[in-house]
């Protein structure tokens, strides 16, 4: 098949315009999230393209107007060959009025060797390359022994975890490749969990009583929840510094485990002592950490801090972790993902990359998060590998290099063909 595969790969260069046109068509679908609930037309297009390649289609609404699409292409001999999930998200980062786009965020343009438009890097470039790789393989008559499962999901930008629904729906494989923005590096990721820390008093006090709370002999056991929350913020900074000293992970810069006090809300108005304060934090973990364990560590630290304060000892903080949507319940979870460099699929992907680029593949850790952690959470070996530089993702005039998009597509053709024809042990 080597000669035939060389001919298939040559078609990526010969039909560059087709690949670029496919990406431009995907960008033209307006799928920013927030506001979300706008991917139905784009997902219908994706379902049609997969069906034309012989995939059996499963589609369902994660939210009204935001369906997942999963296509399954049965292999020629699936009992004896490896299966593969290709995963990407159709939603893109939000766009605000007044941004200085060259044309328009959803009016793609090709200039200076790059496709410009919202989602070009994050991550419609990956979706287009993966779909085109499968198209070229089919048109070239390539035999694929194992099953291919293509997942076009929603909700990644706002933590709505369309990929989690694919896992709970029963889709699994011997390996999953998330074709998200990685600049053609093979990556794992740390995890992210958001949380709310809440201080609340059962009593309210007039602003005029503040002197009695803070001066000698005042005799009033009360406090501002905002001021007490400030002690918790300082305590979280101490925990963050402790982690920077005591925790590490290969491929991650020191101190990558962070606790960001992102939003603070509290008080009623100027005539009240603040009886409630809510702190919204974002916590980054290393790839080998479970977010549940890290959340418990934060709770233990904050409760110990609170116990040393008379008012917080009587009014201890409460915690709410994660969520299903940054839009609906102001919370999200992205589990961490460790990549096993010794896994045969990782080795095969690295070899495909090296063949196409003439340089060794780089295996490292993404500085951001993707849906890849849901596969690790489900026990499915996985990695992130896709076109696009992270500095272009979410940026005005977001773009992806056409040359890199073609390299990605060719590497993926080699990998898909090689992995799906790898015999099971």
pLDDT in tens, 232-249: 999 999 999 999 999 999
Radius of gyration, CA atoms only, the chain: 25
Residue 3's pLDDT is 53
The rounded distance, in Å, linking the Cα atoms of 123 and 370 is 10
Written as six digits, the tokens of 36 are 């979300």
78 and 97 in a single domain? The answer is yes
Judge whether 378 and 167 are in contact, CB under 8 Å. Answer: yes
One domain, residues 176 and 207:
no
Across 31-57, average pLDDT: 98
End-to-end alpha carbon distance in the chain: 22
Residue 14 forms part of a structural domain: yes
- Indicate whether 425 belongs to any domain: no
Q: How many domains does the chain have?
A: 2
Residues in contact with 305: Cβ distance below 8 Å, sequence separation at least 6, in sequence order = 231, 232, 235, 312
**127 and 200 assigned to the same domain:** no
Looking at residue 16, its pLDDT comes to 98
Give residue 54's pLDDT.
98
Same domain flag for 201 and 142: no
Residues 46 and 179 both lie in one domain: yes
Average per-residue pLDDT for the chain: 97
Q: How confident is the model over 272-278, as a mean pLDDT?
A: 96
Beta carbons within 10 angstroms of residue 222's beta carbon: 18
Contacts of 2 (CB under 8 A, 6+ apart): none
214 and 98 share one domain: no
**pLDDT at res. 72:** 98
CA distances from 57 to 47, 101, 214 (A): 7, 36, 66
Q: What is the CATH number of the domain that holds 241?
A: 3.30.70.360
Asked if 291 and 416 sit in the same domain, the reply is no
The residue segments making up the domain with residue 165 are: 2-189+337-420
Token output for 128 = 């287009």
How far is it, in rounded angstroms, from Cα 123 to Cα 368?
A: 13
Specify whether 139 is located in the same domain as 261: no
Question: At residue 1, does pLDDT exceed 90?
Answer: no
Distance (Å, whole) CA 110 – CA 405: 13
* Residue-level pLDDT at 85: 99
Q: Are 154 and 203 part of one and the same domain?
A: no
Inside any domain, residue 246: yes
Query: Could you tell me if 352 and 313 lie in one domain?
Result: no
Decide if 329 is inside a domain: no
pLDDT tier at 15, thresholds 50, 70, 90: very high
Active-site annotation holder among 49, 66, 147, 156: 156
Domain's final residue, options 269, 291, 321: 321
- pLDDT class for 209, splitting at 50, 70, 90? very high
Q: Do 178 and 273 belong to one domain?
A: no
180 and 233 assigned to the same domain = no
Q: Among 49, 91, 174, 338, which one carries the catalytic annotation? A: 91
What average pLDDT does this structure show over 392-398?
98
Known catalytic membership, residue 102: no
Whether 326 is covered by a domain: the verdict is no
Q: What is the pLDDT of residue 425?
A: 81
Overall average pLDDT of the 119-147 stretch: 98
Closest CA to 317 of 331, 329, 302: 302
Burial class (CB in 10 A: 0-12, 13-18, 19+), 216: exposed
Q: Does residue 331 belong to any structural domain of this protein?
A: no
Q: How many Å apart are CA 82 and CA 174, to the nearest integer? A: 6
With 70 as the cut, is the pLDDT of residue 229 above it?
A: yes
Stretch 22-41: mean pLDDT = 98
Q: Is the residue at 268 inside a domain? A: yes
**Domain end (from 287, 321, 355):** 321
Is residue 332 in a domain?
A: no
Please tell me the distance from the alpha carbon of residue 101 to that of residue 99, in angstroms, as a whole number.
Answer: 6
pTM, full prediction: 0.95
153-168, pLDDT tens digit by residue?
A: 999 999 999 999 999 9
Q: What is the pLDDT of residues 311-355, one digit of tens each?
A: 999 999 999 999 999 999 999 999 999 999 999 999 999 999 999
Q: What is the CATH number of the domain that holds 150?
A: 3.40.630.10
Q: Is the pLDDT confidence value at 99 over 60?
A: yes
Q: According to the model, what pLDDT value does residue 225 have? A: 97
User: What is the phi-psi region of residue 408: left when phi exceeds 0, alpha when psi lies from -120 to 50, beta otherwise?
Assistant: alpha
Q: Where among 321, 351, 380 does a domain terminate? A: 321
Residue 157 bears catalytic tag: no
Interacting residues of 300 by C-beta distance below 8 A, sequence separation 6+: none
């Amino acid at each position: 098949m080597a000669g035939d595969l060389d001919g298939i790969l040559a078609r990526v260069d010969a039909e560059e315009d087709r690949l670029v046109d496919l990406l431009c068509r995907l960008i033209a679908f307006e799928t920013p999230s927030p506001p979300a609930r706008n991917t139905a037309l784009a997902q219908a297009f994706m379902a049609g393209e997969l069906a034309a390649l012989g995939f059996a289609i499963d589609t369902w609404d994660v939210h009204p107007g935001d369906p997942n699409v999963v296509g399954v292409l049965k292999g020629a001999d699936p009992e004896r060959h490896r299966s593969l999930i290709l995963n990407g998200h159709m939603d893109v980062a939000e766009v605000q009025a007044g941004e200085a786009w060259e044309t328009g965020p959803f009016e793609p343009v090709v200039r200076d060797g790059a496709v410009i438009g919202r989602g070009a890097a994050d991550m419609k470039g990956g979706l287009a390359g993966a779909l085109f790789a499968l198209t070229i393989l089919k048109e070239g008559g390539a035999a694929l022994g194992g099953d291919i499962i293509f997942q076009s999901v929603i909700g990644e930008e706002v933590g709505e975890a369309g990929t989690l629904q694919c896992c709970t729906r029963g889709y699994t494989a011997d390996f999953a490749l998330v074709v998200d923005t990685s600049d053609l590096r093979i990556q794992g990721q740390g995890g992210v969990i958001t949380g709310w820390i809440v201080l609340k008093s059962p009593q309210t006090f007039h602003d005029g009583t503040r002197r009695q709370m803070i001066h000698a002999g005042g005799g009033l056991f009360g406090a501002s929840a905002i001021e007490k929350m400030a002690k918790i913020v300082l305590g979280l900074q101490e925990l963050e510094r402790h982690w920077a000293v005591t925790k590490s992970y290969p491929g991650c810069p020191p101190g990558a485990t962070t606790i960001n006090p992102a939003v603070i809300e509290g008080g009623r108005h100027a005539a009240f002592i603040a009886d409630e304060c809510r702190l919204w934090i974002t916590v980054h973990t290393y790839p080998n950490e479970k977010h549940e364990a890290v959340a418990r560590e934060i709770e233990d630290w904050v409760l110990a801090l609170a116990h040393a304060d008379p008012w917080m000892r009587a009014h201890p903080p409460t915690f709410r972790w994660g969520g299903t949507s940054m839009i609906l319940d102001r919370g999200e979870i992205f589990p961490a993902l460790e990549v096993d460099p010794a896994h045969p699929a990782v080795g095969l992907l690295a070899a495909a990359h090296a063949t196409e680029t003439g340089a060794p593949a780089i295996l490292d850790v993404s500085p951001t998060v993707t849906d890849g952690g849901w596969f690790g959470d489900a026990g499915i070996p996985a990695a992130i590998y896709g076109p696009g530089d992270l500095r272009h993702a979410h940026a005005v005039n977001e773009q992806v290099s056409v040359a890199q998009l073609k390299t990605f597509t060719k590497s993926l053709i080699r990998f898909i063909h090689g992995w799906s024809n790898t015999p099971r042990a």
